[in-house]
Structure 1
């Protein structure tokens, strides 16, 4: 995948085709909630039933399974970043109110060797005439060790996510809270990200965030990209949470080590099912936020620069010695709704994904539609229109201009037949059909039918 996204064009002449590829094997034959690609390896973890299946993106078949750790459905999964290629760590978040930490210690010394191992496991399974049991691939759940249970939430955990460094884990729950966990008392063997030996996992609660008034459906950490660390009065990490209360909240750690809500994004007319950060912002600006809701809209939010700042989010400097004047800085931030994407859905939008390679956005949801959008440049200068829906731009609930413009490129109805589609994500392609393995990307959708389906996206001008 290219290191930076392609710049959108001002021409509306581009067309797109979304082509279904062969589903990952085996079919899970039960509701699957979410599929999350590993940040660097050709692996994809899918949450379903009381565990998770890890697929190989090289063979498009099951690699291993995580079972026996939970008593109720696993709703979300998260890969820990920064570990050595043969040291895998996955967190599963469950309706049993716990999050589980799993480790898989392979024999491979790097990503290429791991990929060869995946391919070899697939070939061995095929030669035995048995290609239907996901647990048999790569040794199944025998390769995964369930090393730690994180307890504390009072109800179902709906989402989990690691910070870019891997130092923090966030979980969100039906109990209306967000918990932030950090690891302590371990040595950093087996890679970066603060990860320790698999028999030394010790985690503690760093913060409990209770300001939402409804179930917290999803959490997402801001990616580690240029411009993210510009606001010096906070730590580097930034967290967003989406809720049944129709809002998104943005959280940062202040200079006293306390996690505070710095913004409440209001504008959706229904449950906000999730939030995504812009993976590759232009011009070193702070990443934007993508939110999607039961109101059948996808919205884009932009952080407003401080009027008393230097234009890059840093503190203003006084005339005496260049010392930053922090006394007049507020902990509050202004986020503006700068776009409502063109209407493509008529029911809940459960998921949306923003590509760091192309800048395209894909969405899906209760109506079974997969939609593809592209941003146009320059942005519209209208003071009243944030999108084709005619909704005004919103700054924490108040109208503002200008608004960016997006177009609907393509849509696929009944992407999983009559079933709801619960999730969609972009990931790199490593399969035999790819001409540039590890650089091209595809979409992966996950549905109530238990099918994990890849999609090829073709653009033509």
Structure 2
């Protein structure tokens, strides 16, 4: 497999200030970019400004996340800010445009020009519904659970907060705190919920379906689950990085449906790691049988059992891959494609790198030929619990992709622009966000 990375026309207008992250909507052709104390929403159809969210935060907006599971006429976005709060926004603009046509093929054009009058109209399109307060320092990460019921926020105050949407309906904005997790020893940089994919509930005999992971300045990753009594607990600490773990992403499309999704992390130590949960099939089957396939034992039967009799909820995770080195400095962001399985990373050195996981047949054939893989793959190994390490290779790099500026974020997102042609909504591109305030899309051509 080969890859060519080519620049596409940049999003307009330039922001002319540091931009932190650009988050694509899961279904609509919209991209939310966090910068200064606002968020600019771009149209993926026109690669231009769609609307602007301002007035909700007193300091820079660090990150954002779209709420899933809401009707197509109801757009919600949560922002995390250096002012120590998270804000909930709702779209109040042209709802007819959101309701018309197929959700995946819908054209969302930029409704306003770049004049001051247009910017004022943009602000009126979004309503700042609710502020979530409780963190003592800046909020650095926000993430919705797959159902949209839970929201996780994390902060420089070393805590992760879990909030639950308890509103009576989609129009009722009411949230309450259900957990404050404080086991990290440093700033918590990012949070991510395990996606709703086949295999995610393979350990359902022990836990609830919702699984959260967090990364920190303490160089660790923590996995959190809800215990039977409704208490959120840390079930695993993943150690191995030698610097701040800047972020993470769950495997969006596992190759095997009976396997729990893997986890990718990236760090100030310049490495990307892939982690795999140890799963003993006998234990999984026993758990399902005892719980009657519905968590009966663990959700309703533990109340009268002494703590010393409760089954351990600790998990073991193996680092099953360290991706080949492609960066000279810190990796700030990485993204894992659900469509192709390719991983892309970016960071302090301004380089974009794209990686592919080699299947066992390819890796074995390369080894038999006696080729030197030391620069492009990890030597396969097997853990004591059967998790086999995987081999990865660097397919392509783009140095100085934002000139002399650092890249703060990279993401895969679907193309809806005219250049996608008949594959609109299907073809993927990369989008990078940097200190130069330019949001850059990149075409990724794959050859076999």
Residue aligning to 1:407: 393
Residue aligning to 1:53: 40
Give the deviation of 1:48 after TM superposition: 0.3
SS of the equivalent of 1:345 reads coil
Residue aligning to 1:8: none
Give the deviation of 1:329 after TM superposition: 3.8
Count of matched residue positions in the alignment of Structure 1 and Structure 2:
423
SS of the equivalent of 1:136 reads helix
Residue aligning to 1:84: 71
Shift in CA distance, 68/234, structure 1 to aligned 2, threshold 3 Å: same
2:263 aligns with one of 289, 293, 305: 289
**What CA distance in whole angstroms lies between the structure 2 residues aligned with 1:176 and 1:393?**
35
- 1:66 and 2:39 equivalent? no
| Between structures 1 and 2, the one with greater helix share | 2
**What CA distance in whole angstroms lies between the structure 1 residues aligned with 2:315 and 2:382?**
14
Aligned 8 A contact 2:34 2:64 in 1: yes
In structure 1, runs of 5+ residues without a counterpart are 1-13, 126-130, 189-195
Shift in CA distance, 161/325, structure 1 to aligned 2, threshold 3 Å: closer
Residue aligning to 2:174: 202
Aligned 8 A contact 2:382 2:389 in 1: no
- 1:230 and 2:202 equivalent? yes
**What CA distance in whole angstroms lies between the structure 1 residues aligned with 2:90 and 2:143?**
16
SS of the equivalent of 2:101 reads helix
Shift in CA distance, 137/37, structure 1 to aligned 2, threshold 3 Å: farther
Alignment of 1:202-351 (within 5 A): 202-232=174-204, 233-284=206-257, 285-306=259-280, 308-310=282-284, 315=287, 317=289, 329-351=311-333
Aligned 8 A contact 1:371 1:412 in 2: yes
- TM-score norm. by structure 1 comes to 0.85
Shift in CA distance, 369/276, structure 1 to aligned 2, threshold 3 Å: same
Residue aligning to 2:131: 149
- 1:112 and 2:101 equivalent? yes
Aligned 8 A contact 1:275 1:291 in 2: yes
Aligned 8 A contact 1:180 1:208 in 2: yes
- TM-score norm. by structure 2 comes to 0.88
**What CA distance in whole angstroms lies between the structure 1 residues aligned with 2:100 and 2:341?**
27
Alignment of 1:124-135 (within 5 A): 125=112, 131-133=113-115
SS of the equivalent of 1:240 reads strand
Give the deviation of 1:19 after TM superposition: 0.6
Give the deviation of 1:86 after TM superposition: 1.9
In structure 2, runs of 5+ residues without a counterpart are 299-308, 368-372
Deviates more, 1:278-287 or 1:238-247: 278-287
